[in-house]
């Protein structure tokens, strides 16, 4: 499945601005004319200026053609093409009520990477791939330049390189930080690694288990992990790429409440005391992570239990209504899981 074929590319992810300037430009009244713009669709000059200003900020001065617009609702979708440094398609979402460009995605051909991406960014990607893509499986199929200033959860201002079930995001607002995800079939990873993931899931102890369907090699923040999962991400095991340590195990089939109201009612008061939580978790935590919880303290919030000790690995667990842990995750003191 080629994930980049979807126009809804905001990181799902996977959670970047050029600053306030592009948005401010997009909100200014239109000038008397808009240069280097062609359109076969009906757009007034003010909207055209706002859309064009964002495109020019992201791609430089190009010849812009607006080819279609869906303005049946308050949030318009505008499609078009760029010609100049490199030919590209673009998609923009425009909030007609607020008069702002909500998002812009410019879609370049992979062959044009050297034309449109800064040399330093290309060098950073190449250096990253040298250490991360040790199997040399990544192949760029498309490059997107995305600007989504109203997105409060995901990335806002970034480049993304798409491969076949592969992605590399470059966060331009946070030091060009790279987030990556490459999918592997289970047969393409070492059997010992798959066996460890399966054993970890069984150790968690939920009665129902969904088989893993694939594994992701992921880089996010300080984490470099193998992520064993199924299509619906009901089961999840994270294993460090370098260390081979298990860092997280989750089985959402163990969640037994029915909706938000039932959750609030079930966990209005602590289901387990601190002593009970330590007793319920200690053998699993020892088996999964090799961590002895002796001397740890416990903080409780709803169904989440945080086991901590100064200078040691923190463990976060979530319980169901029966008081059984369906999720356990280890957080190292130095913040690095690899």
The domain spans of the chain are 3-180, 186-331
Length of the chain in terms of residues written: 338
| pLDDT digit string, tens, across residues 134-149 | 889 999 999 999 999 9
Q: How far apart are CA 114 and CA 278, in angstroms?
A: 55
| pLDDT digit string, tens, across residues 268-318 | 999 999 999 999 999 999 999 999 999 999 999 999 999 999 999 999 999
> Given the structure tokens 């987030």, which residue do they identify?
179
% of the chain exceeding 90 in pLDDT: 82
Q: How far apart are CA 338 and CA 226, in angstroms?
A: 9
Q: What is the pLDDT of residue 43?
A: 87
End-to-end CA distance of the chain: 27
Work out the average pLDDT over 223-245. 96
Q: How far apart are CA 133 and CA 224, in angstroms?
A: 12
Mean pLDDT of all residues belonging to the chain: 88
Helix axes 274-289, 191-204, angle to 10 degrees: 170
| pLDDT digit string, tens, across residues 151-182 | 877 899 999 999 999 999 999 999 999 999 99
Evaluate if residue 17 carries a pLDDT over 60: no
Q: What is the pLDDT of residue 37?
A: 66
Judge residue 23's burial from the number of C-beta atoms within 10 Å of its C-beta, 0-12 exposed, 13-18 middle, 19 or more buried. buried
Spell out the alpha helix ranges (H) of 88-136: 113-116, 119-132
| Residues whose CB is less than 8 angstroms from the CB of residue 280 and which lie 6 or more positions away in sequence, other chains included | 272, 319, 323, 324, 325
Work out the average pLDDT over 11-15. 32
Least confident of 72-81, 120-129, 317-326: 72-81
Q: How far apart are CA 158 and CA 216, in angstroms?
A: 22
């Amino acid at each position: 499945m080629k994930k980049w074929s979807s126009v809804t590319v905001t990181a799902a992810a996977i959670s970047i601005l050029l600053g306030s300037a592009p948005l401010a430009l997009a909100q200014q009244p239109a000038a008397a004319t808009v240069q280097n713009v062609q359109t076969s669709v009906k757009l007034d000059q003010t909207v055209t200026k706002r859309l064009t200003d964002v495109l020019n900020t992201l791609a430089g001065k190009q010849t812009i053609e607006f080819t279609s617009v869906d303005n049946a609702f308050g949030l318009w979708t505008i499609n078009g093409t760029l010609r100049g440094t490199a030919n590209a398609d673009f998609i923009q979402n425009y909030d007609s009520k607020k008069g702002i460009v909500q998002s812009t995605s410019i879609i370049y051909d992979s062959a044009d990477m050297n034309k449109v991406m800064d040399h330093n960014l290309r060098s950073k990607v190449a250096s990253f791939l040298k250490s991360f893509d040790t199997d040399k499986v990544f192949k760029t199929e498309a490059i997107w330049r995305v600007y989504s200033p109203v997105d409060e959860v995901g990335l806002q201002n970034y480049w993304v390189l798409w491969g076949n079930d592969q992605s590399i995001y470059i966060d331009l607002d946070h030091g060009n930080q790279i987030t990556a995800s490459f999918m592997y079939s289970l047969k393409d990873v070492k059997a010992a690694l798959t066996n460890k993931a399966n054993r970890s899931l069984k150790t968690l102890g939920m009665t129902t288990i969904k088989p893993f369907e694939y594994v992701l090699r992921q880089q996010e923040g300080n984490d470099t992990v193998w992520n064993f999962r199924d299509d619906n991400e009901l089961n999840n095991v994270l294993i460090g790429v370098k260390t081979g340590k298990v860092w997280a195990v989750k089985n959402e089939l163990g969640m037994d409440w029915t909706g938000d109201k039932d959750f609030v009612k079930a966990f209005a008061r602590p289901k387990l005391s601190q002593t009970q939580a330590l007793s319920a978790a200690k053998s699993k935590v020892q088996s999964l992570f090799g961590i002895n919880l002796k001397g740890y303290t416990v903080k409780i919030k709803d169904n989440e239990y945080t086991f901590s000790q100064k200078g040691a690995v923190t463990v976060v667990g979530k319980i169901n209504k029966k008081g059984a842990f369906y999720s356990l995750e280890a957080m190292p003191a130095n913040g690095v899981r690899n």
